[in-house]
Structure 1
Amino acid sequence: MTTTQKYAATGAWNEPEGATPRGTVALLPGRGETAASYARLGRRLAADGYRVRYVPVTLDDIADARAAVEELLADESLPAPRVLLGSDSGAALAGQFVAELPVDGAVLAAIALPGSAHGEVGADWADEVDARTACPVHRAVLATDEEFARGAIASPLPWETIAIGAQDRPTLALHGTDDRVTPLAPALEVYARAARTDVRLVQGGRHDVLNDVAHRSVAATIVLFLESLRLSPEAPPIVTGLG
């Protein structure tokens, strides 16, 4: 229990003691979220050998957000491959930074969209939770996290356009089919503009797709992507069918 609380507070998850680290994941949160929102995912990726580092970013200063990620990547003790993992507004930033920073790829989860493309979420807490996740464990995390910014999910993005810059780097996009915050159709249009983006739909998934009821399958999909990057910058599939 103490370890879980420590991880939630610091946002740093390491591979098991004695294991060889297999890569680094820089985690960029979405609107309102804290490190506590990602304790479960951080532990799961770390159990598979990946060092996960939560990077708090602010949307009112993109240059500052970029500098925070760049400072993390300057840590030579963090092993390659290095991948940006962002959710919501963090996915929008990761989609931009992946072409600007020394990383090997990106994972974009439920990318937030500006302006009219953004979905509608009610102002009350019950509707926000319903839009975010159906997972009872994650709902409890959100309800008890005193630093979580309720209502932030409905705030507009401070930019008018969005683009994924990773034309030459592998990108995995994860999106829930029942996402009310970022509806699927406009999100797919954004993902389609990046040549090397592999889009995976989470059936029935809501906006907090990394922390929804299918979180185990989502985490496994991320690990497969990370493992493929370890093999080659082309990110070849590891598990294939007979065809």
Structure 2
Amino acid sequence: MTAVGAVPVVASWSEPEGIRPRGTVVVVPGRGEHAAVYERFGRRIAADGYRVWAVSDPAVDEERTCAQVRDLLDRTPSDEPGEAGPAPRVLVGSDTGALWAAGLAAEDGTGIDGLVLAGLPGAGVVTGPPDWDGELALRTSCPTHRARLDGDGAVRRGSLARPVPAGWADRARPGAVGVPVLGLHGAADALSPPAGVRGWYAALHQAELVSITGGVHDALNDQTHRTAAATVVLFLERLRGGAGPVTHTELRGGAL
């Protein structure tokens, strides 16, 4: 892990010892966050054999984030811990990190094999800066993650009330995104209501939008974080297999 002061800029989680990496995942944080906020998600995806990295918030220093992402995408694949792993190489973005990742794929998709976009910013707005408890409620309904954010002095409070950086929405043209996209969106996301993003996903060439019942803005760190991680792993496995289905339901009956 590389750090500036006490704030991790790039964090990484490797696959279990003795297992060859199945792919590379690069996480782009959203407003107010930093790389280590995604430790729980990173460890869970890494446990399934993927090499996971998290970079800095592009809303703070876009040039720095772009350099970090390009460095990871452009590295020669390696089985050595601490190095970028093999394809598929997938960007996972949350909040404005999702919008930034979509913009990068639209403008220069070199080395990007897929996108996972959680809580993509849409038409929702925060009317005035909420207090910290209100911001936590907007971000996640998971008490564990709320406590983690509440005790993290590096999380920039009030960030969700800030507008999406100028030009990012225009840059993320869905028709220019040429890789498969998985969208994860909380059905109860008050910051970015699902109705405001469905049209964007519908305009993509290859997309799946998964709505998480009762979920709020941070789909990767909500109470349903296990379901979100499992959905991401299935997407990664489909990419490894050529974007086709990896399972087929032969029979469904009775009450679940």
Q: Given the two structures, how large is their TM-score scaled by the length of structure 1?
A: 0.88
* Alignment gaps of 5+ in structure 2: 1-6, 79-83, 252-256
Counterpart check, 1:54 vs 2:63: no
CA distance in 2: counterparts of 1:164 and 1:94, whole angstroms:
12
SS in 2 for 1:212: coil
Q: Please point out which of 88, 102, 107 is paired with 2:116.
A: 107
CA distance in 2: counterparts of 1:86 and 1:166, whole angstroms:
18
Counterpart check, 1:85 vs 2:62: no
CA distance in 1: counterparts of 2:31 and 2:61, whole angstroms:
14
**1:51-200 pair list within 5 angstroms:** 51-59=51-59, 62-76=62-76, 77=78, 78=84, 79-99=86-106, 100=108, 101-113=110-122, 117-120=123-126, 122-160=129-167, 161-162=169-170, 163-164=173-174, 167-200=177-210
Deviations 1:77-128 (A, max 9, x none): 3211100000000100111222413111110011124xxx233264200110
CA distance in 2: counterparts of 1:28 and 1:36, whole angstroms:
11
Give the aligned partner of residue 219 of structure 2.
Answer: 209
Q: What's the CA shift for 1:133?
A: 0.8
Counterpart check, 1:12 vs 2:21: no
State whether residues 24 and 83 of structure 1, in contact with CA within 8 Å, keep that contact through their aligned partners in structure 2.
yes
Would you say how many aligned residue pairs link Structure 1 and Structure 2?
Answer: 231
CA distance in 1: counterparts of 2:114 and 2:166, whole angstroms:
23
SS in 2 for 1:86: strand
SS in 2 for 1:172: strand
CA distance in 1: counterparts of 2:53 and 2:64, whole angstroms:
17
Give the aligned partner of residue 237 of structure 1.
Answer: 245
Q: What's the CA shift for 1:166?
A: 5.5
* Alignment gaps of 5+ in structure 1: 1-7
**Residues 150 and 62 (structure 1 numbering): CA distance in 2 closer, same or farther, change over 3 Å?**
same
Deviations 1:12-53 (A, max 9, x none): 100011111100001100000112311100000000011111
Q: What's the CA shift for 1:154?
A: 1.2
CA distance in 2: counterparts of 1:29 and 1:149, whole angstroms:
12
**Residues 202 and 166 (structure 1 numbering): CA distance in 2 closer, same or farther, change over 3 Å?**
farther
SS in 1 for 2:215: coil
Identity of aligned residues (%): 45
The one-letter code sitting in structure 2 at the alignment partner of 1:137 is: T
Choose between structure 1 and 2: higher helix proportion: 1
State whether residues 175 and 209 of structure 1, in contact with CA within 8 Å, keep that contact through their aligned partners in structure 2.
yes
Q: Given the two structures, how large is their TM-score scaled by the length of structure 2?
A: 0.84
